Amino acid sequence: MWEYYEGKVILITGGSGFLGTTLVYRVLQKAPFSHVFLLCRKNLSNLRETWSQWLPEEIVLKMLDPKRVTILEGDIIKPECGLSVSCVNMLRAKVNIVVHCASSISLAHPLGRLSQNIIGATEGLANFALQLTNLERFVYISTAYTNTHLFHATPEGDVRVEEQIYQLSATPNVQLEWSEVQKKGTSVEYQSNNFPWAYAYAKQLTERLLCDIFSCTGKSDKLLILRPSIIGPAQRYPYSGFSFPLSTPMTIFTAATALWPSLWARISTRYKRPETEATNDEVPVDVVVDRLLTHLAFGTIGPIHAVSGGRARRELHDVWTEVCQFRRWPWVPRVEWLADDWHSDKQHFVVRQYVILGTSFLFSDDKTTILRDNLSDRDLRELELFTLSERESPDSSLKKHQIWYCINRIGRRSLLARWASVLLYRSYRLKDIKMEIVRRCACS
């Protein structure tokens, strides 16, 4: 499959983020692109600093090789990404593939604050991509939780989500809906459907808007929408356990759980046995990247899921047990289940950010299963397309460091959190984790 990328030029937004960094590494390691353009708000020195914190120096140097990589300092919010006229003209002439990874990932911000960062920026980038002379594919990174409104629209315990576009009304007009969001900071559709966060609705609207844009230009065959679930540490590359801790939701949740002194944790659910009926779908970041590159090479269009799915998602009881093992308080919070809406303010304040804890989604990944049958044995050995259901947990030496890093960062936000981080958890030391990173890369 790698032959597809021979001689092609790719433009990646969000290359300094967790997913973007993994994609850049994989592209430079395996895909024979002639050149990679990275559009980042960070300049070269800031990007080097970010990558050097979580990657060995020799890998960072390869990822910044000017013969293969060009860093473009820009902003996707601005017209033509804030790039110069000469740079824009150069990209229009050279780029074949655009992968849009950049996005706000805040679950707390209201729709009005998120809309331009997610919807508006993507609309602008799509219109820019459609002006590229040699555009072959446009990839949008969405989320598997973009259709979480289905949870309250169906009585099913395990809500199945297909790899398709879900319309929110019988006669959709996505352009009018987007105009309404821009004017009012909300929409009738948003208010009529129960989304856990404005973030999920913004991604959902963006998917439909992209389909409309590419359809109106007769280029629907160029659009690929990738929907990852909760992105977690890598299972294989760049090394086992690789992550940016502050971009890994379950690591942050574990750190927050370690800090709170509560005796209880109230979680909303509709299940009779939520410990085993509620599930958590966390997918390794390298599985996300390999699904992206494989479907791109084989010409898949429309939405695909990058998830652990029915093979490897985990029951909430197992997740909660693992999360609580990192606590150093002399007690474990007792879970109290609420037969209430997931927006209930009765839930613990940390749980309110992760309102899907008491739910279960079965994300279909049939497109990847079918695609696997078309791959050679060599490709299958080299690709990470599925989460390993019984893979060994990362060594505690690395996982604890990542959690402690988040604890120290969260500890700066309040006096209580700062006190708990100092009293209960030892300081994060960069040199320790760097030694572990180098060791793992050597083993890989």
Specify the higher pLDDT residue, 103 or 119.
119
Q: For the whole model, what pTM was predicted?
A: 0.94
pLDDT digits (tens, 9 = 90+) for 151-186: 998 888 899 999 999 999 866 799 999 999 999 999
Render pLDDT for 334-358 as a digit per residue (tens, 0 to 9).
999 999 899 999 998 888 888 999 9
For 22, 170, 330, 384, 386, the CA distances from 285, given in Å and listed in that order, are 7, 36, 34, 10, 11
Tell me if 51 sits within 8 A of 433, measured CB to CB: no
Nearest in space to 316 (alpha carbons), one of 364, 367, 265: 265
Cβ–Cβ < 8 Å for 38, 95: no
pLDDT-based confidence at residue 391 (cuts at 50, 70, 90): low
The model's pLDDT over 64-85, given as tens digits with 9 standing for 90+, comes to 999 999 999 999 998 888 999 9
**How large a percentage of the chain has pLDDT more than 70?**
95
How much is the pLDDT for 182? Answer: 96
Geometric angle at alpha carbon 399, from 396 and 402, rounded to 5°: 145
Residue whose C-alpha is closest to residue 54's, from 231, 245, 235, 230: 245
How far is it, in rounded angstroms, from Cα 114 to Cα 150?
22
